[in-house]
Chain A
Amino acid sequence: MKISGARMVIESLKKEGVKTVFGYPGGAIMNVYDELYKQSDIQHVLNRHEQASVHAAEGFAKNSGEVGVAIVTSGPGFTNAVTGLANAYMDSTPMVVISGQVPMSLIGTDAFQEIDAVGISRACTKHNYLVTDAKQLPEIFKEAFHIARTGRPGPVHIDIPKDVTAQIEDFEYPDYVDIPTYRPENRGDIEAIKTAVEAIKASEQPLLYLGGGVVKSNSSGLVRKIAEQTGIPAVETLMARGVMGADNPLLISMLGMHGSYAANIAMSETDLVISLGARFDDRVTGKLSEFAKDAKVIHIDIDPSSIDKLVDVDYPIIGDLNFVLSDMLPLLTDIDSEKFADWRETINNNDKLHPLSYEKKEDILKPQQVIEKIGEMLGDNANITTDVGQHQMWTAQFYPFTRGRQFNTSGGLGTMGYGFPGAIGVKVADPNRVSINVTGDGSILMNIQELMTAVEYKIPVINVILNNNYLGMVRQWQTLFYEDRLSETDLSVQPDFIKVAESFGGIGYRVATIEEFEEAIRDAVEKNIVAIIEVAVDRRENVMPMVPAGGSLYNMMLK
């Protein structure tokens, strides 16, 4: 079959099972858009900014576990997409992002809308390609999807010059791909697994430290089994919220900078850290030299470069958690979970001593109350996306997550503006659940144009703005560490968010009490169109506990 390069792009996507792509057309990618127009197997969602396209594709990927796809044009189309690529790279999200490029003959001439796209994306993708001949397209697409979804997942970028998309060539999509230089280790070494099991048996106060890798490898079930079989308590990172399930008695809470007192103390007192798909991020460890100081460390990870990167590991195991934990589970049967009863008791007492909490006020809503209310009303029936800042931490602390893919947030890069387009992607992936974007009055304005996308495609995301008229997290740091000099963080000058929502064709609610909020959520869910619920919350509320940057995990501010 002889077809154009542009058609090959579409056919390749179909072969990979792609049903939805997010994107924005432009000059250099027009041939591909022309082919999109001629077919109906793949639905295209036109976001109103390329950054939003890539975030939406990522929200889709994080929720579904499938590869998210975005298509953008050259030059500014691509540079707008870079934040999305970097975000997906930091959060190890499987993605393929396709960009147009100026024709081969114009590359390097500073042509209109020309930028060295692969030069830029090299630092923020798992791999990238500049296609110089349409004959390469089938193999490159096969490789790109393979690389994106295997090993430690990540975004792959394919840059295609316009003349390559016009070139007519034979198309035959490979069934199979083998890259001799890329063969991720999935099976963990069985001897290493046995040694690690011995270490678990010898420990008195072990702790499961769960990271985003558990979610990505779909091994929440195995992790829960291991915890329940052994009675070993667990802490979750931001990226692992939901893995254990909120009502699981073995779950302590989130750990780290805004982790719970009991979680951080447990990590400081454990004698064996069992790290599953976590990467010892600085927001988790605090001061490295004091982190889990007296503990041995088991580290199971698909990415060898995560091992020994920050914390010295005693028992490294490289492999896919599914394989490693399946091998490990039968070896752990003779552990008596009673052995760790005292350890669990200590942790529970710590949690009772300083639970995650806040003080309600008569006259103004507390942001944590709002999160709890959403959880109470929607629980497992909602997927929760956030932007970045205080609201993100409160959501992580107070929402009763029940499954790993329920929570969708920009963890590594911390991208304000991720939430709304991310929640659009989530709703496309899981249309039967309510898609809530918990956001702040700062973050929401960074991709507010997505109201248009949500209206056009009838994607009823509910944006809950916890409005404190501040760039809250930076304000909190200024208060605590800069003697309350609030440099450029007062966001009192704001649009009328209700009118904004309405002017795009959505619906807006302004609420100040918990009853009003409850009513707004109920109404928005029922109306089933994109909504903004603006909630006035206590301006000066801080996210607590807090480990100051660079401080030891056990030295928390509690109030």
Chain B
Amino acid sequence: MDIERRHIISVTVQNESSALSRISGLFAGRGYNIESLTVAPIPNEELSRLTIETYGNQKTVDQIEKQLNKLIPVLKVVEREDFVEKEMAIIKVPIEESLSDFDALCRAYNGKIVNVGEGSIIAMVADDPKRVAFFIKAVQRFNPIEIVRGGVVALER
């Protein structure tokens, strides 16, 4: 019950400019941490969906849920363990001889090379958040210049 663990909270909110700051302000003001946060409008609706990745014990997360629900523009808050979760990352590495090894690594993580420049290439992967973390570890040997993680998106089964 009191173990700190990772939680995914999915929040459906009205599309309004202040909604995000209400939510992030709630986390900041109460000392809850946000590990990652994604937000985008839901197609054809006046709503947006936020996915928040956070760490905390169950009591804290229950309280976060209730506080989120208390915000006027929040329609729905869902927290569960069996979400289908995906995360994307894009990565820039210098062009070296082992290009085919790099390409194979990206493919193993459901990715591919998306841009080839003069001295560097950019690849993307999209996979379970855990596997994206593995990928980032594995890719270290290609001396990445920059890595951008997209944050978790999740959907109930």
Give Cα A408–Cα B150 distance, bound, in whole angstroms.
51
Q: Which of B62, B67, B75 contacts A180 (CB 8 A)?
A: B75
- Find chain B residues with CB under 8 A from A182 CB: 72
A306 → chain B closest CB, angstroms = 9
- B66-78 CB mask vs A (1 if < 8 Å, else 0) is 1101101111000
Q: Which of A118, A181, A305 contacts B72 (CB 8 A)?
A: A181
Once the chains bind, are A305 and B18 in contact (CB under 8 Å)?
no
Name the segment of B21-29, B122-130, B138-146 touching the other chain.
B21-29
Once the chains bind, are B74 and A181 in contact (CB under 8 Å)?
yes
When C-beta atoms are compared, the residue in chain A nearest to B18 turns out to be A118
Once the chains bind, are A304 and B66 in contact (CB under 8 Å)?
yes
Once the chains bind, are A181 and B70 in contact (CB under 8 Å)?
no
Question: Main SS of the interface on chain A?
Answer: mixed
* Interface size band for B: 10 to 19
Q: Which of B25, B67, B73 contacts A305 (CB 8 A)?
A: B67
B14 within 8 A of A: yes
Once the chains bind, are A308 and B18 in contact (CB under 8 Å)?
no
Q: Which of A130, A179, A304 contacts B18 (CB 8 A)?
A: A130
| Contact status of A119 and B72, CB under 8 A, knowing A304-B66, A305-B67 | no
Once the chains bind, are A119 and B21 in contact (CB under 8 Å)?
yes
Once the chains bind, are A304 and B69 in contact (CB under 8 Å)?
yes
Give Cα A123–Cα B72 distance, bound, in whole angstroms.
13
Give Cα A553–Cα B25 distance, bound, in whole angstroms.
34
A361 within 8 A of B: no
- Find chain B residues with CB under 8 A from A127 CB: 72
- Find chain A residues with CB under 8 A from B67 CB: 305
- Find chain A residues with CB under 8 A from B13 CB: 181
Q: Which of A130, A181, A303 contacts B73 (CB 8 A)?
A: A181
- Find chain A residues with CB under 8 A from B29 CB: 123
Give Cα A224–Cα B21 distance, bound, in whole angstroms.
43
A559 within 8 A of B: no
A225 within 8 A of B: no
- Find chain A residues with CB under 8 A from B72 CB: 126-127, 147, 179, 181-182
- Find chain A residues with CB under 8 A from B22 CB: 122
Once the chains bind, are A181 and B63 in contact (CB under 8 Å)?
no
Interface centre among A123, A126, A181 (most CB of B within 10 A): A181
- Find chain B residues with CB under 8 A from A126 CB: 72
Give Cα A182–Cα B72 distance, bound, in whole angstroms.
6
When C-beta atoms are compared, the residue in chain B nearest to A305 turns out to be B66
Once the chains bind, are A303 and B70 in contact (CB under 8 Å)?
yes
- Find chain B residues with CB under 8 A from A147 CB: 72
Once the chains bind, are A308 and B62 in contact (CB under 8 Å)?
yes
- A155-194 CB mask vs B (1 if < 8 Å, else 0) is 0000000000000000000000001111000000000000
When C-beta atoms are compared, the residue in chain B nearest to A151 turns out to be B70
Give Cα A118–Cα B17 distance, bound, in whole angstroms.
12
A309 within 8 A of B: yes
B59 within 8 A of A: yes
Chain A to chain B contacts (Cβ below 8 Å), 19 pairs: A118-B18, A119-B21, A122-B18, A122-B25, A123-B25, A123-B29, A126-B72, A127-B72, A128-B18, A147-B72, A179-B72, A180-B75, A181-B13, A304-B66, A304-B69, A304-B70, A305-B70, A308-B63, A309-B66
